[in-house]
Every structure is written in C-alpha cells, then in structure tokens.
Amino acid sequence: MGNIGKKIKKIDSEAITLGKPIYTEDLAIKNTLCVKLLRSPHANAIIKSIDKSRAERTVGVEGVFTYEDVPKNRFCMAGQTYPELSPYDRLLLDKHVRYVGDPVAIVVAADEKICNRALNLIKVKYEVLEPLLDFEKSETSHIKVHSEEDGTFFKGSKDFVKYDLSKNIVGEINKVFGEDPEKTFEDSPVKIEEEYTMQEQAHSMMETYRSYSYYDHLMRLTVITSTQVPFHIKRQLSVALGIPASKIRIIKPRIGGGFGGKQTSVTEIYAAFATMKTGKPCMIKLSRKENYIASNTRHKMKVKVKIGAEEDGRINVIDLDALSDQGAYGEHGFTTLGLVGDKSLPLYNKLKSARFHGKVVYTNKVPGGAFRGYGATQGCFAVESAVNELAKKINMDPSKLRLKNITKEGETTLAYNQNILSSKLEECILKGRKLIGWEEKYPSKVLSNGNIRSVGMAITMQGSGIANIDTSTVNIKLNEEGDFSLLISATDNGAGADTVLSQMAAEILKCNIDDIITISADTDITPYDPGSYASSGVYVTGGAVVRAANKLKRNILKEASEKTGIYFGDMDLNKGMIMTNTGKEVMSLKDLAEELSSGAEGKTIMGSGSFGSDTSPPPYVAGFAELETDILTGQVKVVNYVAVVDCGTVINENLARVQVEGGVVQGIGLALYEDVVYSKEGRLLTDEFLQYKIPTRKDIGELTIDFQESYEPTGPFGAKSIGEVVINTPAPAINGALLNGIGTQFSKLPIKAEHVLKKIIGY
C-alpha cells in the first residue's frame, strides 16, 4: 500500500495546528477546583507543626490537607513495569521534607487566586536540618536522606539492586566482562584516564505537568492526565491511595511534550486525592517554576573512564566508574545507572576486558528521573569524550579509530550477550564524514578573523524497548461500515507514535490511513501497554500492531471464505475490497461488515496481538559537529551538525527526521546552554526559561540529517527505535570538536563561553 517510509502527516496535526481543545487543561469542565501545593523552602527539614486553621476558613477553600490527613502508603512515582526497581520511598505528604519544593500541604479551592491566598495563610514550623547537597559526599555523610524506620522501601531484591540506606545508596552495579580490567589496563601501552560530569538537564517540555480528575457515572476515580504511562499511573494511585485499581481510570489526551519527564507521576496523585476528599472535579497544573524545582531531571552523573589501547588504536579495555546523583527520591535511579555501561561498552568490539561499576546516591535535591537517553546519554558523553582523547593521544583520526573498533552487523561483543542482527553504524560514520566535509575540515583551521573552525565526532547506540520486560497488546476491530478501530496505549507524547502505528496497521490491512480510527490511551478501553518510554513505541507496540492487524486480516478473510466458499488463503484485502489472489473482486469490506452487523449470526471481527521481545535491538547514530569558536569571547557556535542514523527501516521519513533534529538540538542545549545552579542552601536557582536557557531558533546552525537504513529482523517492517538515541552524540562530538580546535576538552557540562575562554587564554 506504500504506507511505510512515506512522509505521512501526523493524524492529529489538523487539530493541533488549529489550536483545538485537546490537552488536559482544555478538557476540564467549568468550575473545576484548583489544587495547589505548599512546598518546602528547606532542603532538609522536619515539620514540627502546621497551623492550617486560617487557610481552611478562607472563603472558597474546600480543603487543606497535611501529612496528618493523607494515607500512609509508601509508593513510587517511577512509571516502570512492576515490580519496579525504584524504591517505594514516597508518601503522599511526609513529615520529613527532603528538597526545596517537596510538598508540605495540599490546598483545594475554587480558583488559583484563593489557593494562593490560602497557601500564604498556612503556618509551618520546621526543624531545619543540614542538607546533603554534594553527591560525592553522600555515601560517607552523617546525613541520611531516607531511613527505613517506617516501611519497606524496595520491591526489588537487595542482592540485585544493592541498596543501602545507611550510606544513602539507592543502588549499585558491578559488571566485569572478559579478562581482569586492571591488568589489561596496566598492560596496554596507551592509557587514558579521564572523568566527565553531566548536569541535571531539565526536560522543559512546553506543557507543564498537569492532571484533572473527577468521579464518573460509576463513581470511579477518573484522571485525565498528561502522562507517558497511563497504566503505571493507575497502579501507583491504587497503591498510594489504597483503593482497588478497578476503581481507577486513566485517560491520556494529547500531551504537550514529555521527553521522559512524564514517565514519572508528578501531579496525578494530588488531583486524585483532592477529588477523593471533595468529591468534585479537581485540577492541578504546575507553574513553570514548579516544573523546574519540583518535578524530576536527568540524573547528574560523574563518570570516570579508563581506556587501555594499543598504539595502532585497538581498544583493549574500557573501565567505567559512575556516580549518579539521585536527588531526594529514587525514581529511575538504578535503571538509569545501568544504561551508562549497557549502551556504551557494546559499541566497541575489540575489547579484551570491560567493566562497569556504578552507584546512585540520594541527596537533598530535585529528584532524578527518566530523560530521553536515560543514562546512555551520560555514558556516551564520558566514553566518547575519552575515545576522542585517545585519538588525539595516538594522533589518529577519531573517525578512523571508531571504524577500527566498532561492533558490526552479525558480530557480538564482550559486553553484549547477543548478536547484533542489524547495524549500519560503519556506513553512518562514512556518510557523516562526507556530509560534514571531514577530509577538508579535520581537525581545524583558523579563519581570517582569528576564530577557530573545528570538527569533532561521536557514535552512540540505544535500545528498542526493554528486553524481556516490555510487552504491549493491541486490538483492532472491523467496524460496521468497513472502517477500522485501532486500540493502542503507546501513549503518543507528540512525536507521532499514533500516526506511525496507524501506518503499520494500514499497511497490513491494505487501506488508507484515514480508514483507521486510532484510539489512545484510556485504561478502560485500550489494552495494556507499559507506555511510551525506553524507545518502545515503534518496536514494541509496533510489533503488537503487526500481529493484531495480521490476525484481523485472517479473521476477515475467514468470514469472507464462509460466505463465498473461496479458500481464505486465496484472498487478500485491497483498498476496502476483498479480492482473490488472481485479482477478482469478492466483496467489499463495507458489505461484509454491514452484513455481519445484524442478524442471528451477527458479530464483530477483531484482531488482538501482543509483542514482547527477548532482545532490544540498538539503533545507532554517528554525530559530527562543526564549531566556530570565537577566541576573543570563548563563544562556541555549532555551525553545522550532521547526524546519520540507523533506526532500521524508517517508517515515516518526516517524523523520523524531526525526531533527530529535535533530539540533536536538545543535545546541543545540554552541551552548551542548559546550566543548573543551586544555592548554598539547596534551592534550585535556574527555575525559569530566563535562567535555564533552552536553545532558541537563533542558537542553532545547520542541521544535516540523514538515514542509513538497516533491516532489523525482529522489528516491525525491519524498524528499530529512534526517539532517544538521537540526543546522545552532540555533547561528546562538540567536546571532541573543541579538542580538535582549541586543543582541550571539558570535563563538565554545559561548556559555557567563560570556560572556553579560560582555556584559550590559559587562565
């Protein structure tokens, strides 16, 4: 049908571009109550007393709730498949507040103004404690962010997660592959030892976190919410509020961006609790400032890298030691840490030895969470920066160094227990070199105005869904007029999963994409899916779409067979018709559907399919940065960024391209602009767009995006993922270009003009 690989518009694009009411807040009825949170001004404190009497008496206030008024069920806000590897370290409201922004009280009132007035009238006495702000001191600190006094924190086994609250450790990983890493390093003639720190990038999605809840006609608690994980939210609310999951319904409308942030349930619980208490529709909507100070961020990580290599560039050993800053609550801590090693070490194939050791520790800061790239970004920055350092040390072209060492299609590697079934990484590197003009531009040249032009590169991989964990189910039915309903819970967060999955269904049912009504996501209606994370939409849910559509097709043809006597294997669908394989029209789908929709033999034909995979096939990117560095100011401009991507089959060229462009720009922001500053007392100071600078359209130079398609045999139509992998290369490629331009790399992000200038003038 030609639906695959085409530049098909997003199916929701018309409503989106016309400004229709399709987001959470737009759907709330008039007179919905406003929910606001009183937040802790202290990074670590015990609440001694709360006087809420004046707030409660304020006209228009429906309720004020403190830790004394809420259920005491510990829960976890990380939207992950049960049993989560993140700790159950949260209470709805706690007597102990652990970061500036931690909720102290919930106010429900007629409108925002009254809420704000009531917030000001709540008097809280705190016993202010010394905060733990330096994650490098966390393990040995006398300050304990959490204690196990009041409940079991972990569902996962201690043998596996290796948590230790007495040392503020959320989790620890130690994996050794092959020979002894210390000895291999010692025996290698060329040694690189570096450390790199990536900051706590903020998602800064345009729609802040928000949730709207009400009781429906069956008195079930219904939450319309901007989430990536409707089914996980349902479970979390059930656990935290102590009500059966059967009494909860989660609906996901259009989402104004997520980037992983909305894989954590930042607001749902407060709206739902307010509705339980008042019986009325309630909405919570975070301000931009709250979005920064009281949601979640990328985990700040310091990664030490040791590389041992031969003089000819063969890499013998990569030894990584990571420390991850979890902040105050443990969402996604252990799992994010794992990807630092899992998605960097398997890139290199000549290793005799590899090791990944890492710890993730609590601090009294904004909690870490899921952010596009999920640890792979931090690992890529460290390993690729160190590999660029190695290239410089042995005076070898860094692209040739990669070509010499990378894992190729059909091969396996020390830190990867399966064969790589699809990879065009080598071709990506070669194409990227051409597109950026590497031969002419590497390593650098001085322009007539004294500025330095230089190029740098990096490679990366990610996964496609979580192997052996993620399973998605999809239902498709033939409607009574011959069109189809596609029921999915892949949770399109704006990137276009609904469209891409509809394309796949249309391809198999050989119909126009407009013949498919796509419904996503409603936990009452659409089948179980873990949600949109781990780059799973195209691969995992897509796999289920293929199975469901094929089943439906078979069921349709069997019905047609019963009616006509023609063997079902001799027929196929074609643009709304059932045809014989010799090209004769049998009947229209509309006629069949209409006939089936009534009478004693009437029925609805459906197809249901599930897909989970025992592998998580990696997509790859080769990224190349061309920089111009102003030697008088230290300002760095990315003149051109080339990203060549192997995401398997490209299902929708436009949407794939925009994923790459958007991811690269977020990566450039991470590398050069997005600064995170805390006060001495632990207050996040970069808490608005004016302080936390995401790239504007003036900051970004050329973006040159290309694809090098491979065919992933386990993926739908040969596809792999694309959403996350694209954010990883800019930081190390830019760092590498600075190495090739001004002769030195940077160990911390963001790399700001003043840091560059200091290096240039040798300050």
**Residues forming the site for other proteins (CB under 8 A):** 7, 9-10, 12-14, 16-23, 25-26, 203-208, 254-259, 287-289, 493-496, 652, 654-655, 657-658, 661-666, 688-690, 694-698, 700, 703
Least spacing, CB of residue 403 vs other proteins, in Å: 28
The residue assigned the tokens 């330096």 is 134
Q: What contacts 315, CB < 8 A, 6 or more positions away?
A: 307, 308, 309, 348, 350, 351, 387, 390, 405
Terminal alpha carbon distance of the chain: 63
Q: Nearer to other proteins by C-beta: 258 or 530? A: 258
Least spacing, CB of residue 511 vs other proteins, in Å: 21
Q: Nearer to other proteins by C-beta: 17 or 147? A: 17
Q: Please, how many CA atoms are within 13 Å of residue 643, restricted to the half-sphere of its CB?
A: 34
Q: Nearer to other proteins by C-beta: 342 or 492? A: 492
Q: Nearer to other proteins by C-beta: 26 or 51? A: 26
Least spacing, CB of residue 14 vs other proteins, in Å: 7
Whether the CB-CB separation of 750 and 674 falls below 8 Å is answered with yes
Q: Nearer to other proteins by C-beta: 18 or 600? A: 18
| Residue 319, number of CB atoms within 10 A of its CB | 21
Per DSSP, the three-state class of 671 is helix
DSSP 358-406: EEEEE-SSSPB---TTTTHHHHHHHHHHHHHHHHHHTT--HHHHHHHHB
Distance CA 616, CA 467 (A): 5
Distance CA 39, CA 431 (A): 51
* Helices marked H in 170-257: 181-187, 230-241
Helix (H) or strand (E) holding 563: helix 542-564
C-alpha separations of 641 from 147, 450, 670, 730 in Å: 47, 22, 14, 8
Q: Nearer to other proteins by C-beta: 9 or 167? A: 9
Least spacing, CB of residue 301 vs other proteins, in Å: 22
Distance CA 319, CA 305 (A): 6
Phi, psi of 156 (to 5 degrees): -75, 160
248 burial (CB, 10 Å; 0-12 / 13-18 / 19+) is: buried
Q: Nearer to other proteins by C-beta: 494 or 607? A: 494
Least spacing, CB of residue 621 vs other proteins, in Å: 14
Least spacing, CB of residue 19 vs other proteins, in Å: 3
Amino acid 653 reads: E
Distance CA 707, CA 645 (A): 5
Q: Nearer to other proteins by C-beta: 252 or 357? A: 252
Amino acid 377 reads: T
Least spacing, CB of residue 693 vs other proteins, in Å: 10
Q: Nearer to other proteins by C-beta: 187 or 699? A: 699
Whether the CB-CB separation of 207 and 512 falls below 8 Å is answered with no
Q: Nearer to other proteins by C-beta: 657 or 720? A: 657
Distance CA 621, CA 707 (A): 9
Least spacing, CB of residue 32 vs other proteins, in Å: 12
Least spacing, CB of residue 408 vs other proteins, in Å: 30
Comparing C-alpha atoms, which of 262, 285, 260, 282 is closest to residue 271? 282
Least spacing, CB of residue 260 vs other proteins, in Å: 12
Q: What contacts 449, CB < 8 A, 6 or more positions away?
A: none
Q: Nearer to other proteins by C-beta: 22 or 46? A: 22
Least spacing, CB of residue 346 vs other proteins, in Å: 28
Q: Nearer to other proteins by C-beta: 167 or 288? A: 288
Least spacing, CB of residue 662 vs other proteins, in Å: 4
